[in-house]
Chains A and B, each alone.
Chain A
Amino acid sequence: MMEKTREKWGYKKWGYIRNGLVVLLVLFVILDLWGGRGGDADMETLVAEVTKAAGMEGGRPAGARMVKRFYGLNPGDYESVVLYAPADNMDARELLIVKLATPSQREEVEKAVQGRLDVQLDSFDGYGAEQTALLEAHVLRAKGDYVLYIVHERADEAGAAFEKAFR
């Protein structure tokens, strides 16, 4: 009987299971490390997908001057910048997509976005409750060479479309 039990729960079997799981573990870690580098996408498709998801198609992108005004960023420093500015000073909806020229620029762009967010939150503080809620629900994502910042009722869908566009 003892023999049978030993056969049934053979050490070899558990050894194989254990090894198999370790292999899976290693795979997981590798995927985790490499997952950060997404595929690639181009600016036009990205803008199209994101604006479609947010329902912003047909909006007019703002010029370089606005990018500088709002974010303190010089569009010439980057590969490409697209900005959809708020329609008027009661509007908080905004979309910014930056294609970085070098990966190290990511931090400064994110910082600039944070600054813009703070300014906007400040300016709507106290009386713009809906705008404040929209701003707080903003989406800020970075993937590959792109940075996305969007303040919109459908910011989440736009963020998901952004992620999807990379496959």
Chain B
Amino acid sequence: MRQDQDVRQEPAKRKKKKGGRLFYRIMAASFAGIVLLFALAGIVLPDRGYSEEEKRVLASFPEASWDGIQKKDYMEDLESYVSDQFVLRDAWIRFKVQCDLLVGKREFNGIYLGKDKYLIQIPGEPDDENVARNMQAINQFAGRYPELRVCMMIVPNAACVMEEYLPKGAPVRDQEKDVEDLKGQLAENINYIDVTASMRGHVQEGLYYKTDHHWTSKGALRAFEAAAEGLGIENPITDYEVYTVTNDFSGTLSSKSGYHKVKDSIQVYAPKGTEVKYLVTDSDDVKERPTVYDKEALNGKDQYQVFFGGNHALVDIRTTNRTSRSLLVFKDSYANCFVPFLLPYYDEIIMVDPRYYYDNVQMLVSNKKVTDVLFLYNMDTFLGDRSIADVLAGE
């Protein structure tokens, strides 16, 4: 007992130092160990070029230059390089997302994780002036061709149609209000096709991809059913043969958010009870082919491109129909899985993507003897578009 008392009387410092030595030694060893391990691994292992999970090219070792150093570009590039090539990068990102989920976070890089593992993109803030400019151009265009049937279908995004799937209370832009705004700015002779309500009714069927910002073919089908009347299609086909072309689709939202727990499947709908055939050409590949589907895309980085092989400035589909109706579609990528539903009803369908189309639209309308015009976009892209007005103005 007395010995203990003696020990206790000695300066507390000594006792403190005695305890914890193991702890500090482990800390020193493990900290140094981990840092050295990853540093050396980074040097030894080869650099990666493209990341499948992030769907982007990873930074490579930058070249040094006086200019680059002075402008700090070299330093930034070197830091990106080290970060991009960090050993087990994909695993680290998944780990991080997992930690976030555990803590209750439901938003990743501008994307909400909703019910049923749905990734839902947060719609962006539009530039109202730009939208007004586009609407004005559309109105003027319709005014120039009073004999054409002009329709506008701006499809609301998942954040609107699948509202109930969003994390509770998560703030999003009210796209229904956007729809009303657009209707208000539209000229009288343009028919606005509002599919929001009918799509809402079919939400459980999976109208949007869980991992991508596009709508599914099912979503396009439901929209088509709601839009047929507005487009002037009298007896739309209701029977389809459904083919699943892939079960392995991991879209843009997965890559951006780092959440890879679910995969989508892509369906293709072939209408039954019609003998219509068609030939397709586009501005990037003038060879005629009998299908709108691009099988090669299923092996590529973005399987959604199975529809038309992606976006082209101009796509021309000539069918064996004799309806004397010719449709011109101004579109974004949402139209790619919608237009296949329109094939049985027109002699010719021309798709124009204003972001890439630099030719004269007036000439296109007269040369192709267009009878119907459709503006088909998703709301988020439409509100951010900067090309429509310029294309319609032509020159």
Contacts and interface: CB of A to CB of B under 8 A. Distances in A.
Nearest to A134: B57
B284 A88 contact: yes
A66 interface: yes
Question: Most chain-B Cβ atoms within 10 A of its Cβ — which of A66, A68, A69?
Answer: A69
A7 interface: no
A89 B302 CA distance: 17
B313 A89 contact: yes
B326 interface: no
A72 B389 CA distance: 11
Interface in B376-393: 381, 384, 386-387, 390
B269 to A, nearest CB: 23
B67 interface: yes
B157 interface: no
Interface stretch (B158-166, B236-244, B304-312): B304-312
Contacts of B381: 122
A156 B313 contact: no
A90 B284 contact: yes
A133 B381 CA distance: 22
B310 A156 contact: no
Contact of A127 (B73, B305, B358): B305
B63 interface: yes
B67 A127 contact: no
A130 to B, nearest CB: 6
Nearest to B55: A129
Chain B interface size range: 20 to 34
B255 interface: yes
A156 B387 contact: no
A160 interface: yes
Interface of B: 50, 55-57, 63, 65, 67-68, 73, 212, 251-252, 255, 283-284, 300-302, 304-305, 310-313, 353, 355-356, 358, 381, 384, 386-387, 390, 395
Given A69-B387, A119-B355, 17 more contacts: A65-B358, A89-B284, A89-B312, A89-B353, A119-B386, A122-B384, A123-B355, A125-B252, A126-B212, A126-B252, A127-B305, A127-B310, A129-B57, A133-B56, A133-B57, A160-B65, A160-B67
By Cβ-Cβ distance, the 6 closest A-B pairs, closest first, are A127-B302, A126-B252, A89-B356, A133-B57, A160-B67, A69-B390
14 contacts: A65-B358, A65-B395, A89-B312, A89-B355, A126-B55, A126-B212, A126-B251, A126-B304, A127-B301, A127-B305, A129-B55, A129-B56, A132-B57, A160-B68
